[in-house]
Amino acid sequence: MITVALHGAEFFAYHGFYAEEQVIGNKFLVDVTVQFLPQGDLNGDEMANTVNYEHVYKICCEEMKHPRKLIETVAQAIVDKIKADYPFAESITLTLKKQNPPMKGKVEYSAVTITL
């Protein structure tokens, strides 16, 4: 089993339940881990035999552009797209963190984790 991961990918996006969150935006962090069995001999040094973490990052970028009320919805969309593009993935775990969520007190981040 091989694991490919991205940690702390930063995005500025407009996700949030409250209307003002969808206007002023916020900073988000994404951690994603994809576990899989290689699709061929890794000694062949071919991208087709693995999960391309640059492509995984592009998936995150694209999905973060679509404002949604719930970060759960954003996280699920990213996981679904990764699975569609890499059907050989055995496990995908994604954590999406919203920094400084609108609370009455100081909160570093809120987060949701989805594992497929």
Question: What stretch of H or E contains 115?
Answer: strand 109-115
Beta-bridge partner residues of 43: none
Q: How far is it, in rounded angstroms, from Cα 43 to Cα 46?
A: 8
pLDDT at 46: 83
Q: How far is it, in rounded angstroms, from Cα 15 to Cα 27?
A: 10
CB 57 within 8 A of CB 6: yes
SS3 at position 76: helix
SS3 at position 85: helix
pLDDT at 85: 97
Q: Mean pLDDT, consecutive 10-residue segments, the chain of 116 residues?
A: 97 94 94 93 84 97 97 98 97 97 91 97
Domains of the chain with bracketed CATH: 2-115 (3.30.1130.10)
pLDDT at 49: 85
Q: Using a cut of 0.85, tell me whether the model's pTM lies above it.
A: yes
CB 93 within 8 A of CB 113: yes
